[in-house]
Structure 1
Amino acid sequence: MTTLKAQITDDMKTAMKAKDKPRLSTIRLLQAAIKQREVDERIELDDTQIIIVLDKMVKQRKDSIEQYEKAGRQELADQEQFEIDILKTYLPQQLSAAEIEQLIGDAIAQTGASGMRDMGKVMGLLKPQLQGRADMGAVSGLIKQKLS
């Protein structure tokens, strides 16, 4: 079992013992998403792949918060934010803006990117380094600024 998977399982046991139902519910959702991906792809997920699942779940909840707030359903938005806070405890430390800028600059230099047509090369190089450590949508916007 990977270290992140073991940590999630241990946290689930702790939440069960503490009778922390909201936290337990979120951890079970995470475990179900991991298990679903493992069954679908017939593989055992490693920490990197679990981070991708976590990233996707956080993004889905951010989208839900936006929709709930538009509909005036603040209690549902608050629930989604609570789940995001729990999921983020399993993600690696977020990079600062300066660190992201540095990585983008390095990737552009390394790929020799000169225009928008090279954006895929830059993103392909950066995605493994930044997955779970930065908002990829924001990173994409920064790359577009630098390449245009």
Structure 2
Amino acid sequence: MSFAAQRSFALLASARSSFSRFYTTEASASLLTRLKDDRKTYMRSKQQPDLNVVKSIISDYTYFVKSPNAPTGHSEDAMVLSVLQKSIKKRQDSIAQYTAGGRPELAANEQEELTILKRYLPEQMDAAAIEEKVRALVEQIGATSMKDMGKVMKAWTVDPATADRKLVSDAVKKILA
């Protein structure tokens, strides 16, 4: 077999393995896989704001994983959700600062990016559901004053990806006040 034939055979074999790796039919693909697939889709359809946001999340995730203080023992989805939540908080802070600074056009850009990011989060609990769970937790612990807020927050076991910690904190303050 000639060198050219061996090389083309090797390329064909690697193409088959990469085809099966990228085009899986799994129903529950990871969040990172979903982001990478969306990046390809946005590149092909030239959806610039969506593409920029997805690329920035993938980049932030890569830096997060390679950083020396990256957490170990967490799932890939948990780490991607952590990066997503940090990006969402950055966007929310930017919106507040741009609005306060009288720059509504920049605040609108950040708001657009925020809506793109929220597509990748799991279903969020609303304030009423959070308050109901906090009331039950306060009764269970026996918290009576604001001094017990730390105990309540420590006992809160709902995933932070589904219930924003700030909303939980606000509900605890409202109930214990």
TM tier relative to shorter chain: 0.7 to 0.9
Which residue is 1:136 aligned to? Answer: 165
**Residues 1-59 of structure 1: per-residue CA shift (max 9 Å, x gap):** x7111111111111111111211110011111111211111757522232222122111
**Residues 96-118 of structure 1: per-residue CA shift (max 9 Å, x gap):** 22211121122223333232222
Note if contact 2:146-2:176 (Cα within 8 Å) is conserved in structure 1. yes
Which residue is 1:92 aligned to? Answer: 122
Paired residues, what number? Answer: 146
Note if contact 1:34-1:45 (Cα within 8 Å) is conserved in structure 2. no
Secondary structure (helix, strand or coil) at the match of 1:124 reads helix
1:7 to 2:34 alignment: yes
Q: RMSD value over aligned CA atoms?
A: 2.0
Residue of 93, 101, 110 corresponding to 1:63: 93
Residue of 109, 113, 123 corresponding to 1:79: 109
Higher helix fraction (1 or 2): 1
1:20 to 2:47 alignment: yes
Which residue is 1:34 aligned to? Answer: 61
Secondary structure (helix, strand or coil) at the match of 1:129 reads coil
How far apart are the structure 1 equivalents of 2:81 and 2:133? 19
Percent of pairs with identical residues = 38
Decide whether aligned partners of structure 1 residues 115 and 42 sit closer, same or farther in structure 2, where only a CA change above 3 A counts.
closer
Unmatched tracts of structure 2, length 5 or more: 1-28
Larger radius of gyration: 2
Decide whether aligned partners of structure 1 residues 73 and 33 sit closer, same or farther in structure 2, where only a CA change above 3 A counts.
same
TM-score by length of 1: 0.86
Shift of 1:130: 4.4
How far apart are the structure 1 equivalents of 2:100 and 2:128? 33
Decide whether aligned partners of structure 1 residues 64 and 36 sit closer, same or farther in structure 2, where only a CA change above 3 A counts.
same
Unmatched tracts of structure 1, length 5 or more: none
Counterpart residue identity of residue 139, structure 1:
V
1:50 to 2:80 alignment: yes
Secondary structure (helix, strand or coil) at the match of 2:102 reads coil
Which residue is 2:155 aligned to? Answer: 125
Q: Per chain length, whose mean CA-contact separation is higher, i.e. which structure has more relative contact order (CA < 8 Å, sep 6+)? A: 1
